[in-house]
């Protein structure tokens, strides 16, 4: 098949968790531009609905918004059941919902630790497992987990040990699932973004200061990434173009982890 045609996602069905805003929204939009129908699965129902509507109207694909807490096994199973009922299959999962808490390791409460691990690692496992079971039944699928460069390096200067540990866990979970599910024709890969300028982080970058100087000083390209700069890698990993990519970590970080 022609190489550009291999990137097309026409009639594919993609679930994007945490897809209502930020990086998830940008990845959902990129998948839709490649032709995929999109399910925005997010804990914030109103924002998920608005994002799904915008993508449907601008990209001319089918979209659905579902209220899902990815840390709740019942919500996650209902999401899979609802998508299969509506679309008949799940081709692509972008397992992306995540959060961070900045706190010194010596001051972090067990509750703070658990909150981050529960969303970033347990949530990613729960969704991968439920969607993976469906993909095993189908005999195909592509899963892209959102890790972070923080799964590879410890950021400076902010203290965020639970986040870093959770994202390192996502990388090893990805490799483990790739090992187990290759035989079912399921690809499992992970992306590890660096500092990205989303709506949430934009004010920090615009304000500047010592922390931003540190962040950009360690980024050879000297600038944050834009959410849409994840579009290429996510369409590649979701599509047939990445047919031999398996269990891999794709850093998209302006060179941060190259130092």
Ligand X SMILES: NC(=O)c1ccc[n+]([C@@H]2O[C@H](COP(=O)([O-])OP(=O)(O)OC[C@H]3O[C@@H](n4cnc5c(N)ncnc54)[C@H](O)[C@@H]3O)[C@@H](O)[C@H]2O)c1
The residue behind tokens 């996510």 is 234
Q: Give least dist CB 246 to ligand X, A.
A: 21
Q: Does 65 bind ligand X (CB under 6 A)?
A: no
For the chain, the first-to-last Cα distance in angstroms comes to: 38
Q: Does 44 bind ligand X (CB under 6 A)?
A: yes
Residue with Cβ nearer ligand X (96 or 185): 96
Cα–Cα distance measured from residue 128 to residue 140, given in angstroms and rounded to the nearest whole number = 14
Q: Which helix (H) or strand (E) holds 207?
A: helix 202-207
Per-residue binding letters, 68-87, with ligand X (x by CB under 6 A): xxxx----------------
The neighbouring-strand residues paired with 196 are: 225
Cα–Cα distance measured from residue 1 to residue 240, given in angstroms and rounded to the nearest whole number = 10
With CB under 6 A as the rule, give the number of residues binding ligand X: 28
Q: Which residues are catalytic?
A: 163
Residue with Cβ nearer ligand X (100 or 142): 100
Residue with Cβ nearer ligand X (158 or 246): 158
Q: Does 64 bind ligand X (CB under 6 A)?
A: no
The residue behind tokens 């999109």 is 38
Those residues with Cβ within 8 angstroms of residue 11's Cβ, 6 or more apart along the chain or in another chain = 35, 37
Q: Does 219 bind ligand X (CB under 6 A)?
A: no
Q: Where do contacts with ligand X occur on this chain (CB under 6 A)?
A: 17-18, 20-24, 42-44, 68-71, 96-99, 119, 123, 146, 148, 193, 195-196, 198, 200-201
């Amino acid at each position: 098949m022609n190489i550009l045609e291999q990137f097309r996602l026409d009639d594919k069905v993609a679930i994007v968790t945490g897809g209502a805003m930020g990086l998830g929204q940008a990845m959902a939009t990129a998948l839709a531009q490649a032709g995929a129908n999109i399910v925005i699965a997010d804990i914030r129902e109103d924002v998920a609905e608005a994002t799904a509507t915008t993508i449907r109207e601008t990209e001319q694909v089918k979209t659905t918004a579902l209220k899902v807490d990815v840390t709740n096994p019942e919500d996650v199973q209902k999401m899979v059941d609802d998508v299969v009922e509506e679309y008949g299959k799940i081709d692509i999962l972008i397992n992306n919902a995540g959060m961070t808490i900045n706190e010194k390791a010596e001051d972090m409460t067990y509750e703070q630790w658990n909150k981050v691990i529960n969303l970033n690692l347990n949530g990613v496992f729960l969704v991968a497992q439920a969607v993976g079971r469906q993909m095993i039944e189908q005999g195909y699928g592509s899963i892209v987990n959102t890790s972070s460069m923080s799964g590879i390096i410890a950021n400076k200067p902010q203290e965020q040990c639970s986040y870093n540990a959770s994202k390192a866990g996502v990388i090893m979970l990805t490799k483990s699932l790739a090992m187990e599910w290759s035989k079912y024709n399921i690809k499992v890969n992970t992306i590890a973004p660096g500092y990205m300028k989303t709506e949430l982080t934009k004010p920090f970058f615009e304000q500047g200061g010592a922390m931003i100087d540190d962040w950009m000083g360690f980024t050879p390209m000297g600038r944050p990434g834009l959410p849409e700069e994840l579009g290429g890698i996510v369409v590649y990993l979701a599509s047939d173009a990445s047919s031999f990519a398996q269990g891999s970590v794709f850093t998209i970080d302006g060179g941060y982890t190259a130092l």
